Amino acid sequence: METVEGLTEGAFHEVGDIPTVIIFDNKDELTRWVKRPPVSEDFFRR
């Protein structure tokens, strides 16, 4: 988000807050975490 390319990518994926972690499968968004890092237990619930 510190460069034009980063801002463009963030806007494309609707990232408004940092940190945002997004998990994709091919081009499909599976899940996202906003303003908190994922913990290992989160991966087993998705």
Q: Is the peptide bond before 19 cis (omega within 30 degrees of 0)?
A: yes
The pLDDT of residue 38 is above 80 = no
> pLDDT confidence of 21, banded at 50, 70, 90?
confident
- The domain limits of the chain are 16-46
Return the structure tokens found at 20.
């945002």
Cα distance between residue 8 and residue 39, in whole Å:
27
> pLDDT confidence of 32, banded at 50, 70, 90?
confident
Count of residues for the chain?
46
Cβ within 8 Å of residue 7, ≥6 positions away: 1
What pTM was estimated for this model as a whole?
A: 0.56
